[in-house]
């Protein structure tokens, strides 16, 4: 069974994807896979998101598609029905954790404070999304957490760009980062799949600690 650590260690970057058109889903996923990025977080922020997850799961077997912005048990159930294999949440509740376990979804719970880390750990989660990363203290906060939470791996997301991704990936407690820059809205609108592949290639080659 896929684990959250499997998801986080596959590549240096997990793309955070917002899709408004179902017809973009499959060629976009193929473009990312061609650039070395297989773990794809499709956020549940649009009415088309679940259909896009379903299309990727069905037609791009080389990709591992997950659902982002999972905030409830209903979100987890819908994501699993659509074919998602992992879930990413902006925050953490035991209800979301329990639902993802019940659905067989690997979960990257969102945390921004020490108390939230402890709550997630109490429920058995130790591979966490640090969100929103820049607004919550950035790499300095992750360095501070390395002492009391040396057994936790993080995926900082929120404000991460090519220019600062390396700063985060240099930290021993960071397995990967989440970023939306791999799938720019204008590239999607124009069907510029070569550009998305090029961005994925660059991201897949960022050095990690």
Indicate which residues carry an active-site annotation: 41, 129
108 in helix, strand or coil?
strand
Q: Count Cβ neighbours within 10 Å for each residue of 42-51 and write b for 16 or more, e otherwise.
A: bbbeeebbbe
Query: Residue 131 in contact with residue 90, Cβ under 8 Å?
Result: yes
Q: Give the neighbor-by-neighbor strand order of the sheet with 13-17.
A: 106-108, 86-88, 64-68, 39-43, 13-17, 177-179
Question: What are the structure tokens assigned to 37, written together?
Answer: 């990025």
What number of other Cβ atoms are within 10 A of residue 116's Cβ?
16
Q: How far apart are CA 164 and CA 61, in angstroms?
A: 31
**Could you give the C-alpha distances from 142 to 81, 145, 166, 184, 200, in angstroms and in order?**
34, 5, 14, 27, 25
Query: Residue 132 in contact with residue 160, Cβ under 8 Å?
Result: no
């Amino acid at each position: 069974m896929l684990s959250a650590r499997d998801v986080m260690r596959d590549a240096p970057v997990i793309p955070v994807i917002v899709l408004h058109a179902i017809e973009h889903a499959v060629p976009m996923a193929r473009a990312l896979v061609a650039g070395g990025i297989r773990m794809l977080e499709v956020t549940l922020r649009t009415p088309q998101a679940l259909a896009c997850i379903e299309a990727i799961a069905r037609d791009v077997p080389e990709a591992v598609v997950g659902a982002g912005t999972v905030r409830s048990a209903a979100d987890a159930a819908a994501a699993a029905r659509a074919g998602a294999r992992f879930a990413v949440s902006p925050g953490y509740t035991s209800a979301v954790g329990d639902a993802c376990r019940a659905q067989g979804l690997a979960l990257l719970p969102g945390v921004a404070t020490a108390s939230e880390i402890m709550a997630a750990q109490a429920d058995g989660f130790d591979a966490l999304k640090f969100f929103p990363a820049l607004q919550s203290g950035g790499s300095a906060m992750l360095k501070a957490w390395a002492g009391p939470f040396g057994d936790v791996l993080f995926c900082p997301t929120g404000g991460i760009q090519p220019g600062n991704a390396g700063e985060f990936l240099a930290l021993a407690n960071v397995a990967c980062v989440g970023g939306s820059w791999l799938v720019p809205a204008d590239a999607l609108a124009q069907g510029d799949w070569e550009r998305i592949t090029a961005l994925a290639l660059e991201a897949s080659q960022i050095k990690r600690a």
